[in-house]
Structures are given as C-alpha cells and as structure tokens.
Amino acid sequence: MKNETGHIGVLSATTLVAASMIGVGVYTTSGFTLAALQTPERVIMAWVVGGIIAICGAIGYASLASRFTESGGEYLFLSRTLHPVAGVMAGWVSMLAGFTGAIAVAALGLEEYLVPMLGEGVASLPGGTIAIASVVLAAIMHAIGVRGASQIQDAVVIVKLILIAVFVVFAARLILPNSDGLSADGLSAGPLSDTAAPMHWLDFAGQLVWISFSYAGFNAAVYIAGEVRSPNRNVPRALVGGTVLVTVVYVLLNAIFVHSAPIGVITAGENISQVAATAATSLGGQRFALLVRGVIVISLLTSVSAMVMTGPRVYAKMADDGFLPSFLRFTGRVPVAAIAFQAVLAIIVISVSTLTQLLGYLGLTLSVSSALTVAMLLVLRFRGEIERLPLYGIPPVIYVIATLGIAVMYAISKPEQAIAAAATLVIGGMFFVTKRKAKKVTTNS
C-alpha cells in the first residue's frame, strides 16, 4: 500500500541522502589517494569513476524502492527477494559497518577537525570525547521526534551546501590563475601525469574502495521509506537526485584539494588525513582554514545525525521480523530503543578504533552488500516479477560488475580487510541460524 501521508517529504529525504554521503570520506580520503596514485589527474578520475558507479547504484536502489516501500533498506530488499538469511546478513552488515562503523568514522573525523579550533584545553581531553558527545547529541535529537529533527537537518544541510559552494567559488578563483601547474603560493603542485610512475590497476581499485565509502550514503533514503510521503515516487527522486548532486560536489571539492598545494605538503604528516584543512591553509591562510574547518565540522555533524536517524530503522524492522530483541521494535513513529542501541554501538567502536583502521573495512564490506542488493533487480527480472529494468538494465549491471570487480581487486591487495569483511558476513549468517532455531523451539513449545 502506498503511503501518501508520511511525515517526511522529498526535500528531507534528499537532504538525508546528501547528509549521509558528504561525510568524513571526502575530507580525508584524497590525501591518501594522492599519495597512492601520485597525480591530481588520477585522483580526480577516481572520484569521477566512483560517482558514476554510485549513480548507477542509486538508479538500481530507486527501482527497488519503488517496489518495496517499507523501511528497512538492504535487509528488507534481500529478505523479500532472495532469502531471509541474506537479509539478516545484510542487516548485520548495516549494523556493524553501514551505520555503527560509519557513524564512528564521521564522529572521529569531526573530532580531528574540531580540536585544533578549540585550543589546548580541549586537546588535553581523552581521545574520542568529542566524537562520543556528537553521537549522544544526535541520538537525543532524533529520539525526541522525527519531524523536528528532520527540519533542523534540512536547514543545516542546505547551509552546509551553500558554504561548500562559497568555498568552491573562492578556491577556484585562486587556483585557476595558477593552472599552469602551480599552487596559489607559487609552488609546484606535484608531478605531471607523464612524469609519474605507471599506475597499477590494483592501486586504483584500492583507492576506489576508499572512495566508495564516501559515496556509500547514496542509499540512505531507503531506510526511512516507510515514513516518506508517496515513497514509490519520492524515495527514487531523493536517491538519484541526491547522488547526482553530491557527485558534482565531490568532484569539484577534490579538484580543489589536490591542486591547492604541492603533493609533498598534502601527503606529509597529519596533513594527509586533513586534506581539506591543508588546502584551505594553502589557499587562504590560517583564518580561511579556520572557516573551512567550521564548515567541515557542521558537515560531519549532519552526517552523524543522518546515520543515527536511519540506522535504527533497520534494527527496528529486523526486530519486527523476530531477528533482533523485541525491545528494538518501532514504538510509535520513533524507534527510541533502537536509537539508543545504535548510539551505544557507535560509542564502543569510537573507543576501540581509529579512523584509518575503519575506512578500508567499511568500504569493502558495504560494497559487497550493496552490489548483492542491486543484483536482486536482475533476479526479479529473470523470475518475471518485474516487466522491465531501469534504462534497459545497464546501470544495475554496471554497478554490480564494477563494485564486485573493485572489491575482488582490493581483497587481493589487502587480504586482511577481506577476511574482516567475510567474518562480518559469516557472523550474520550464524546469527540467522541461531535465531531461526530459537524461533522454532518457541513455536513448538
């Protein structure tokens, strides 16, 4: 049944997609990518390729969302089209990687950019204090109510996009006059493509895994589909529109980041994980860098907020189906217990992990889960349950092949990350078997 009276509109759903995507990845990844790929041109190419793949994925998710209009995301799609065990495994991935790990990454990134703005007193606090505080703040806001929280988020995301646009325009005015290979301070921006060492495709694939994490939030709107007005129409609009918008933002931002200073400066010391602040300092000095840090902090706070809002909807749906404890179920419009549960999980991960430890694992694990989800469109078409695929099936096929191909190449180069991702899936499968046996015992008794 179509939900025409949901309390979340297409604007809120689109800003949710933008908030979920524009997070820590875009402000940290390009320093590492530049160090690996050696030239700005290759970095920009990687972000363009990542954006095309994400748009293809958004088109696939949009087609699934027009068919399944309940909240639940990959858990719902895979449970209904493949098998409940696949859904539970995807839900487990969402719990550990898609939301818990991603919230931790965004919160830790927020802390890295905020601490230098607050002085030595704050810097002496235990690591993770500010990250944990941001998660608690987001959880309280979304536990109070969906409508008010989404309206606050709409306003903040719009302000964030405006500030990013101002930064892009300002930076472009400084960089373009120096487009002969020099940065704004007159220093060489780094080696040109024809002088750099040949690029190995495994290196490129490895960087795409990191970049794919930055694009991972393109599917955010499907997690709240049951609360969106006219979800069969508005959720696809939010998915595709939000992904295209963010892709343009990402390419522009990264073109500025990698052309703003010499490669040696961008990839040196702490600069490599704070590429946006490094670019701002090179372009406009410390005052401009302080302003940009403020924009990034706002951006990461909305990212934390968006994921604290969407993740618990998956757990609530799994609880409704009997695969998580019943206290996590929806109670009215707001799954308060699931929100608190999500906050606790994120705080635990923040306390035991670092930013760089999480990025590769998250990108690989989420890529495999989302590729399997989009592949369900092909399964439904083969079964005859849908009449036609979007754009003759080209975008879903591109997304599945590209995502799995990149994942395989990355797994070859980083087997320890592949083992961690596989372990996550196996644990999810074991969890399903355990819960199914428990449900059978309960039914028989």
For the chain, domain boundaries: 10-439
**Percent composition of the chain: helix, strand, coil (DSSP 3-state, to 5):** 80, 0, 15
**Residue 146, pLDDT score:** 58
**Residue 80, pLDDT score:** 86
Total residues belonging to the chain = 445
**Residue 49, pLDDT score:** 94
**Residue 239, pLDDT score:** 92
d(CA 412, CA 406): 10
Beta bridge partners of 188: 182
Beta bridge partners of 228: 8
Q: How far is residue 244 from each of residues 55, 75, 136, 146, measured CA to CA in Å? A: 6, 25, 31, 26
**Residue 241, pLDDT score:** 92
Instruction: Retrieve residue 158's tokens.
Output: 């719009």
**Residue 344, pLDDT score:** 92
**Residue 36, pLDDT score:** 85
Nearest C-alpha neighbor of 172 from the set 47, 275, 284, 278:
284
**Residue 189, pLDDT score:** 43
Residues of the chain with pLDDT under 70: 1-6, 120-121, 123, 145-150, 177-197, 331-333, 353-360, 435, 437-445
- Count how many Cα atoms sit within 13 Å of the Cα of residue 123 in the half-sphere of its side chain: 7
Instruction: Retrieve residue 354's tokens.
Output: 């670092």
Structurally, at CATH architecture level, domain 10-439 sits in: Up-down Bundle (1.20)
Beta bridge partners of 50: none
Task: Note whether 214 and 275 are within 8 A (CB).
Answer: no
Q: What angle do CA 102, 217, 376 make, to 5 degrees?
A: 110
**Residue 45, pLDDT score:** 93
**Residue 243, pLDDT score:** 94
DSSP H helices, 321-390, are 336-352, 355-383
d(CA 420, CA 197): 31
Instruction: Retrieve residue 228's tokens.
Output: 């969106």
- Count how many Cα atoms sit within 13 Å of the Cα of residue 200 in the half-sphere of its side chain: 7
d(CA 40, CA 263): 8
Amino acid making up residue 362: L
**Residue 440, pLDDT score:** 63
